[in-house]
Amino acid sequence: MTTPTLLILPGDGIGPEVMAEVRRIIDWYGEKRGMAFEVSEDLVGGAAYDAHGTPLHDDTMARAQEADAVLLGAVGGPKYDDLDFSVKPERGLLRLRKEMDLYANLRPAQCFDALADFSSLKREVVAGLDIVIVRELTSGIYFGEPRGIITEGNERVGINTQRYTESEIDRVARSAFELARRRSNKVCSMEKANVMESGILWREVVQEVHDKDYPDVELSHMYADAGAMQLCRWPKQFDVIVTDNLFGDLLSDAAAMLTGSLGMLPSASLGAPMANGRPKALYEPVHGSAPDIAGQGLANPIACILSFAMALRYSFDAGEEADRLEAAVEKVLADGLRTADLIGEDGSTPVSTTAMGTAVLAALDDSL
Ligand code: IPM
Ligand code: MG
């Protein structure tokens, strides 16, 4: 079998720093587990704009299409705030998602026991929390036409369109049901069928897919606003949540905060299987580029490291190695190691990005 290829796109802000730690982890798997990857790096976001005048060069897009998996750090920063909308760093990420057709975005929100007190919610509400939001990622209001800012009479009008086809809902629903079968067999679908036609169709199609092919999975439906409320009230009632692009964007940030730190959460964006059977895939931390702390060695590399664990699980069929990496992270946290984002009132000294990476590597060594 040929060596699997990994395209690394560190991007902006803290992206390069956290990705440097992931590269050490990848090397560890090569040396200690005989899992070789052909790794290459390229630019995305503001970094690509600085070099090429575009947030994603066509060559990079082509390489992403070929790669067995893409790992992305983060994009954006205040330096790019005044750029034209069409070349903003975020457009690079959105182009990757759209052209690779990565329609199923898996965003786990897992509360590590060692961090349960970091949540703004009570420990008993979040301790042991382990849910996944499956966010539709390539359609809906993010991409619907018509869109734009037009002039009507003597004022401007901003327009975006929420649009979902049956097949778009069908395929992401299947991703959610498949995932649920490997977990607690429970899916809650969220939309606003009370006010949006796209929500009515969403609910109908999810129910049809369920009744036809996944009757064994427990399915419920919830309005997305009520879903947001329930996420804060008692999040452990959920297992897999499936929802559209915009609601998924909002709900996943809320879910992330339940776990105590945005610096901990990975994500996988998956598309249809390629010729080799692997899904098209891009893995990225949920956190952003955090320009305020970039370049200071303060960033938490765990979300990016856990994103690589997801790559092991979903792209490289190495679930046990993913478990190993996740256990190493859990051990380091249980040992009390904390980057600056995880320091509370207790006055303990935070460790650097690199020190956290080194500790995870040591825990990996211990696991052998
Ligand atoms: C996310 C981000 C992106 C989104 C931005 C950076 C385009 O918020 O991945 O959640 O809105 O999808
Ligand atoms: Mg977001």
From residue 22, give the alpha-carbon distance in Å to each of 57, 73, 209. Answer: 24, 10, 38
pLDDT class for 206, splitting at 50, 70, 90?
very high
Any domain includes 326: yes
Expressed in angstroms and rounded, the spacing between residue 285 Cα and the centre of ligand 1 is 11
**Domain total in the chain:** 1
Q: Whose CA is nearest to atom 1 of ligand 1?
A: 249
Residue 201 has pLDDT above 90, yes or no: yes
Residue with more model confidence, 114 or 154: 154
Residue 333 has pLDDT above 70, yes or no: yes
The pLDDT mean for the chain works out to 95
79: annotated active-site residue: no
pLDDT tens-digit series, residues 161-189: 999 999 999 999 999 999 999 999 999 99
249: annotated active-site residue: yes
Any domain includes 18: yes
Expressed in angstroms and rounded, the spacing between residue 288 Cα and the centre of ligand 2 is 8
Any domain includes 231: no
Any domain includes 297: yes
Confidence at residue 346, expressed as pLDDT on a 0 to 100 scale: 63
Q: Are 171 and 101 in contact (CB under 8 A)?
A: no
Any domain includes 28: yes
User: Edge to edge, what strands does the sheet with 5-11 contain?
Assistant: 38-41, 5-11, 69-74, 279-285, 266-273, 104-110, 130-136, 240-243, 186-191, 218-223
> How many CB atoms within 10 Å of residue 263?
24
Residue 284 has pLDDT above 70, yes or no: yes
Any domain includes 313: yes
pLDDT tens-digit series, residues 16-44: 999 999 999 999 999 999 999 999 999 99
Ligand 1 pocket, residues with Cβ under 6 angstroms: 90, 93-94, 249
Confidence at residue 343, expressed as pLDDT on a 0 to 100 scale: 80
DSSP of 211-274: HHH-TTSEEEEEEHHHHHHHHHH-GGG-SEEEE-HHHHHHHHHHHHHHTS-GGG-EEEEEEEE-
Any domain includes 37: yes
Residue 294 has pLDDT above 90, yes or no: yes
Expressed in angstroms and rounded, the spacing between residue 361 Cα and the centre of ligand 1 is 30
Q: Of 25, 6, 3, 4, whose CA–CA distance to 304 is shortest?
A: 25
| CATH number (domain holding residue 34) | 3.40.718.10
Beta bridge partners of 121: none
Mean pLDDT of 230-254: 96
In which domain, by residue range, is 339 found? 1-111+262-368
Q: Are 259 and 110 in contact (CB under 8 A)?
A: yes
- Find where tokens 């600085």 sit: 50
Mean pLDDT of 71-75: 98
Share of the chain above pLDDT 70, in %: 99
Any domain includes 286: yes
